[in-house]
Structure 1
Amino acid sequence: MIVMNQLHPAPQQAMAFFAGGDDEPICMVNLLKFKDKAAYADGSDPDLPGREAYARYAAGVHACIAAVGGTLRFGGAVTGLLIGEIEELWDMVAIAEYPSRKAMLAMVQSPEYQQVAKHRDAGLAGQLNICTKPRAGAAA
C-alpha cells in the first residue's frame, strides 16, 4: 500500500470527487500531518508551530462548515497505533460531516473559507482526506 500525504488534491482528482456521488451526506476523515514551523506565503509568523497555524484554520472553518449545513463530528490528537504499521503517524484526526458533496464544494469555494485556508496551507505538511458515508447507528 502506498500512502502519500498531500496538501491539495490534483485538479482531476477534485473534479472526479465533486462530480461523483449523489446528494447524500458524507463524512470526511482527515488524517493530518503538521509542519514543524508554519510557512505563510507572506513570510509572517516564521516561529509559529504548524499545529498552531492549523488551529487558526480550525477556529475559522467551524463556521464555514456550519454555514453549509455541516458539522465537525470529531477532532483529536493521534496518540498511538494498535493495528498495522506505518512509517510515520499522523498528528491529528478530524471528521467533518457535510449534507452532500455539493455542500462541501460550496464551502471550499466560499470567500469565508478562502480567508481561513491560508492557515491550513501554512500549518499542514499534508493529509489524507477519506470520504465515507455516515450510517445511523453504525459501529465498528
Structure 2
Amino acid sequence: MTTYIDPSRENFEAFKALPRDQPIHMLNMLLYRDRAEYPDGHEHAGKGWNGRRAYEEYGKTSGPIFHRVGGSIVWRGAFQAMVTGPHERQWHDGFVAHYPNASAFFEMIKDAAYQTAVVNRTAALIDSRLMRFEPGGESDTFG
C-alpha cells in the first residue's frame, strides 16, 4: 500500500494555485509509527519514542507558530472504525485545522522554526492525509 507523509509536487502546486485570501480548513488523518524514525544525529534520535510521542513533540514545537498565524483546531477525534473505504486502512487520529487564509498556512510552513519542528512529524508518521476544504456552516441536512 502506498503511504504519504509529504505532498507530491503536483498536489502542492494545485494547492498553491487555489485562492490564498479566504479561510481554509485542513483535514489531517494520522497513522503513527510504532517507533519514531529520526535522522541520525537528530537530538531525539535514540530516545525510543513512539510515533505518537514524536507527533506530540511536533505539536509542542509547531504550535506557537500555528497560533501566531491565526490557526486553531476546530475538530479532533480518535479513529474507531472504517465505515466506507478500504478496511485495511486504519488511522490513529484525525483533526481539522482552521487557518484564516491559505497565506497563513504558507507563512507557517516557511517559518524556520516550523521547518525544524516538522522533522518530528516526519519521524512520527507511517502515513497521513492532508486535505484542504472551504469551510462551511453547520446544517441539519447532508446537502
Q: TM-score range by the shorter chain?
A: 0.7 to 0.9
Give the secondary-structure state (helix, strand or coil) at the position aligned to 1:40: coil
- Give how far 1:4 is off: 4.6
Q: Hey, what's the Cα distance between the residues in 1 that align with 2:135 and 2:95?
A: 15
Taking structure 1 as the reference length, what is the TM-score of the superposition? 0.86
The aligned residue for residue 26 of structure 1 is 24
The aligned residue for residue 39 of structure 1 is 37
The aligned residue for residue 10 of structure 1 is 8
The aligned residue for residue 48 of structure 1 is 49
Counterparts of residues 1-140 of structure 1 (less than 5 Å) = 4-42=2-40, 44-45=45-46, 47-81=48-82, 83-86=83-86, 87-138=88-139
Root-mean-square deviation (CA, aligned residues, Å) is 1.9
List per-residue Cα deviations over 1:27-76 (Å, max 9, x = no partner): 00001111111000126135211111011111222222111111122233
Q: Give 1:84's aligned amino acid.
A: T
Identical aligned residues as a percent: 28
Q: Quick check: 130-139 or 51-60, which moved more?
A: 130-139
- Give how far 1:85 is off: 3.7
Structure 1, gaps ≥5 residues long: none
Q: Hey, what's the Cα distance between the residues in 1 that align with 2:20 and 2:59?
A: 27
Taking structure 2 as the reference length, what is the TM-score of the superposition? 0.85
The question of whether the paired residues in 1 share the 8 Å contact of 2:20 and 2:103 is answered with no
Structure 2, gaps ≥5 residues long: none
- Give how far 1:11 is off: 1.8
The question of whether the paired residues in 2 share the 8 Å contact of 1:32 and 1:93 is answered with yes
Q: Quick check: 110-119 or 17-26, which moved more?
A: 17-26
